[in-house]
Structure 1
Amino acid sequence: MSTQMKSPVLDASLPEEEPLGARRGERLTALAQQHGALVALLLTVLIASVSFEAFPTSDNLGNMAVGSTFLAIVALGMTFVIVTGGIDLSVGSTFALGGVLAAWGSQYGTLVALLLPLAVCGLIGLVNGLLIAKSRLAPFIVTLAAMLLARGILLAVTDEGSTTYLVEERSFLATLGEESLLGVSLLVWITAVLFVLGALALRRSRFGQYVYAVGGNEDAASLMGAPVARTKIAVYTLSGLCAGLAGALNAAYLMSGVTILGVGMELDAIAAVVIGGTLLTGGFGFISGTLAGVLLLQVIKNIINQIGSLDSSYQQVVSGAFLAVVVVAQTWLGRKRRML
């Protein structure tokens, strides 16, 4: 009576299938990292709508949407930088500089008002990228120096902040800040278009693949032929352009180039990106998550204003506490994914 034996060679050649529970757990963990900010945003909006009568009104929602646009555009560029594993501390100062340059340039026409802040702020981002990619300097130090440089240029242009340039009332720049389309501010439409383009670039383009590869493992990306230096230069240039554009649009909204804006904005942008699920270590992040993070910070700010008895400092307390919770949750989810 013969007994059928299994071939050890055949057994060794067959890969073990991953358990269904492990695959399901990995998918759930990834979804939590990607959409956690959106879930928190929806729950916060629901609670605020029930708690405050003025919160769900069209005027309040419209004001929140417009107020979110400038930080959102800055955070859009910051997302690309952080996905590569970098950081950009100069965006707050370049945002303020872009607004001042746009207001100053509006007296010479719309083309100057829009191109001047983009050119100057984009150049600052380009220099950041060159120093980081080519000279291999630390992004923290390089962008910190750029922050001081941009703020210094701002003070020089405005005579130590004593001069405030006004946007020409009949200019196209003023139209961008005042007009609406289908009942929605043009600023919101511009931001929405930028986020759609940013999401397509990050998720559907070769450039986006390079961004993820550089953030995931720079050495491995280089061995695979990815243009590591060029990708870093591109993302820092993009960050500068986004900050400059946000500043120009803010000048259009306020009808002036306010010199005191942008202080601490880089921290808000980083917080929004991290809350949205992008890892500070790089290699993982989503544009949609960044938008959810920005809106969540704006909703928290609005809720504090609705309460009335709390001053603006509580916004920083709540935002900081929320950011700490998100970072801890991301670390735990990342470890869980590696274990699955």
Structure 2
Amino acid sequence: MIATTVAPPSERGAAFAAVLQRQGAAVVLVLGVLVAWFTFPRFGSADNLRDLALQSSFLAVIALGMTFVIISGGIDLSVGSVYALGGVLAAYGSRYGLVVAILLPLVVCGLIGLINGLLIARTKMAPFIVTLASLLFARGLLLALTNEGATTYKVEPGAALLWLGQGKIFGIGVPVYLALILFGLGGLLLRRTRFGQSIFALGGAEQSALLMGLPVARTKIVLYTLSGTLAGFAGVLTAAYLQSGVTVLGVGTELDAISVVVIGGTLLTGGAGTVIGTLVGVLLKTLIQNVINQVGTLDSNYQTVVSGAFLLVVVVIQRLLARSRRS
């Protein structure tokens, strides 16, 4: 007879809590899609689903960089302003060709992220303070470049840049494919490389990571540089889609990025998270906004109310699950 062992109730409860923490957003997303599919006839249309994917792609690129930063135990409040700055720089650079339109915002936005990383890693300043200052700096630079919004930089009709935002492959927008490629690369980086393991170690216990000999300072610098670069690239895609650099773009986007990362199961305290969870969080947020639009009778401001309330519920549940796992 083969003896079988049954895990005690405490272990089964901890395992269930761990699975719920990682997969809870995916379960809610599936249920939400099913309810919306059978409740609103327009929701399941091909055009609406393509729009959902396209709307999600811009935020997804920003949230990918935020995922790395939060897993490491940090935060980046500058991504919203950097996102808008990247869009304006892309529109301005489009008059000089596709290469300039892409490289100019990536270099400038990556440089802002690099400065964030250097200050946080070398001076031990709090990420909240450093990135808040960068938020103000990027927004101020944006206003200076556009004469406080009076000057609008447009992407010239027929410019090659437009294909990145408006082009389609098999009926699906190019930004969707680019976001999926970046998420695939991000997943490999996070799970299959030493750098990715350093990110988890850094978020789990920074002092232990130092004692293990991990390059803590270098990891932080690379992370914030990557976050700034991805925010700038999202700005490039948005400018290509809207055919111009929009000055007011990105206000509050940093909060949206943080919310979808947390909704996707990444702990705000760091040390745990996945890029797939972040993608689920982005889709869930877009789903909520789309459902509110489908209702039609609700004011658009309710999108923020519902998203904020949902984020609060998710954070509370995360804390309870984490406490359950520790006990």
TM-score normalized with structure 1 length: 0.93
Partner residue, 2:189: 201
**Alignment: residue pair count:** 323
Matches within 5 A, 1:324-339: 324-339=312-327
Shift of 1:170: 2.1
- Residue equivalent to 1:149: 137
Counterpart of 2:61 (choices 73, 76, 99) is 73
- The amino acid across from 1:290 in the alignment is T
Equivalent in 178, 189, 197 of residue 177 of structure 2: 189
What is the one-letter code of the residue matched to 1:100? Answer: V
1:42 to 7, 30, 33: 30
The aligned residue for residue 75 of structure 2 is: 87
Match of 1:289 among 273, 277, 280: 277
Q: Quote how far apart the aligned CAs of 1:19 are.
A: 4.1
Taking the aligned partners of 2:134 and 2:215, their CA distance within structure 1 comes to 24
**Distance of 1:26 and 1:230 partners within structure 2:** 35
Q: In structure 2, how many angstroms separate the alpha carbons of the residues matched to 1:53 and 1:323?
A: 27
Partner residue, 1:279: 267
Shift of 1:52: 0.5
2-side partners of 1:79 and 1:36: how far apart? 17
The Cα of 1:28 is off from its aligned counterpart by 2.2
| Correspondence for 1:260 | 248
The whole-number CA distance in structure 1 between the counterparts of 2:58 and 2:270 is 24
Aligned partner of 1:223 in structure 2 is 211
Q: CA deviation at 1:24?
A: 3.5
* Corresponding residue for residue 7 of structure 1: none
Query: Which residue does the alignment assign to 1:299?
Result: 287
Q: Which runs of 5+ in 1 are unaligned?
A: 1-16
CA separation of 1:111 and 1:325: change in aligned 2, threshold 3 A: same
SS at match of 1:172: coil
RMSD: 1.2
| Structure 2 equivalent of residue 212 of structure 1 | 200
C-alpha distance in structure 1 between counterparts of 2:297 and 2:9, whole Å: 49
**Aligned residue type for 1:264:** G
Q: Distance in 1 between matches of 2:49 and 2:265?
A: 24
State how far apart, in whole Å, the 2-side matches of 1:26 and 1:204 are: 26
Q: Distance in 2 between matches of 1:321 and 1:123?
A: 35
What do the CA deviations read for 1:206-239 (whole angstroms, capped 9, x no partner)? 1110000000000000000111111111111110
Q: Matches of 1:117 and 1:19 in 2, distance apart?
A: 54
CA distance in 1 between counterparts of 2:201 and 2:237 reads 32
Structure 2 residue 233 is the aligned partner of structure 1 residue 233: no
Residue 160 of structure 1: how far off its partner (Å): 1.0
Q: Report the Cα offset of residue 34 of structure 1.
A: 1.0
Q: Distance in 1 between matches of 2:282 and 2:123?
A: 33
C-alpha displacement of 1:22:
4.2
**Which amino acid is the alignment partner of residue 220 of structure 1?**
S
- Decide which of 229, 234, 238 is 1:246's aligned counterpart: 234
Q: Please list the CA deviations of residues 78-135 of structure 1 after superposition, one character each: whole Å capped at 9, or x if unmatched.
A: 0000001111000000000000000000000100000000000000000000000100
CA-to-aligned-CA distance 1:283-323 (integer Å, 9 cap, x gap): 01110010111111101001111111111111111111111
Deviation at 1:176, TM superposition (A): 1.3
Is 1:117 the counterpart of 2:85? The answer is no
> What TM-score comes out, normalization by structure 2 length?
0.97
| Cα distance in structure 1, aligned partners of 2:313 and 2:267 | 14
SS in 1 for 2:161: helix
The CA distance in 2 between the partners of 1:161 and 1:309, in whole Å, is 33
Q: Runs of 5+ in structure 2 lacking a partner?
A: none
User: Partner letter of residue 196 of structure 1?
Assistant: G
Shift of 1:23: 4.1
